[in-house]
Amino acid sequence: MARGGWFRKQSRNGAAEATVPDGLWSKCPRCGVISFARDVERNLNVCPKCEYHHLITVEQRLTLTVDENSFVEMDAGITSLNPLAFPDYDDKLNSDRAKTGRKEAIVTGRAKIDGQTLLIGIAEFGFRAGSMGGAVGEKIVRLLELAEQENLPVILFTASGGARMQEGLLSLMQMAKTSAALARLDQARIPYIVVITHPTTGGVYASYAALGDVIIAEPGATVGLAGRRVGNQDMGAKLPEDFQTTEFQYRCGMVDQIVHRRDVRGTLGKLLMFLTEARTYVK
Ligand SMILES: [Zn+2]
Residue 236 has a pLDDT of 67
Q: Is the dihedral of CA 175, 177, 180, 181 positive or negative?
A: negative
Query: What's the whole-number mean pLDDT along residues 208-231?
Result: 89
Residue 11 has pLDDT above 50, yes or no: no
Read off the pLDDT of residues 172-197 as tens digits, 9 standing for 90 and up. 999 999 999 999 999 999 999 999 99
- Lowest-confidence region among 11-25, 115-129, 147-161, 265-279: 11-25
Residue 238 has a pLDDT of 77
From the CA of 168, how far away is ligand 1's center (Å)? Answer: 36
Residue 226 has a pLDDT of 82
Residue 143 has a pLDDT of 98
Residue 49 has a pLDDT of 92
Residue 265 has pLDDT above 90, yes or no: yes
Our CA angle for 4, 6, 12, nearest 5°, is: 110
Quote the percentage of the chain above a pLDDT of 90. 81
Read off the pLDDT of residues 50-104 as tens digits, 9 standing for 90 and up. 999 999 999 999 999 999 999 999 999 999 999 999 999 999 999 999 999 999 9
Give CA separation, 201 vs 22, 126, 206, in Å.
Answer: 31, 15, 8
From the CA of 28, how far away is ligand 1's center (Å)? Answer: 5
Residues with CB under 5 A from ligand 1 (ion): 28, 30-31, 47, 49-50, 52
Which helix (H) or strand (E) is 250 found in, with range? helix 246-251
From the CA of 248, how far away is ligand 1's center (Å)? Answer: 20
Residue 279 has a pLDDT of 72
From the CA of 233, how far away is ligand 1's center (Å)? Answer: 29
Residue 282 has a pLDDT of 61
From the CA of 54, how far away is ligand 1's center (Å)? Answer: 9
Domain spanning 55-281: CATH 3.90.1150.10: no
Question: Rounded distance, CA 96 to CA 135, Å?
Answer: 14
Residue 118 has pLDDT above 70, yes or no: yes
From the CA of 27, how far away is ligand 1's center (Å)? Answer: 8
Ranges of each domain in the chain: 25-54, 55-281
Confidence of residue 276 (pLDDT cuts 50, 70, 90): confident
From the CA of 138, how far away is ligand 1's center (Å)? Answer: 36
Preceding amide of 199 cis, omega within 30: yes
Confidence of residue 4 (pLDDT cuts 50, 70, 90): very low
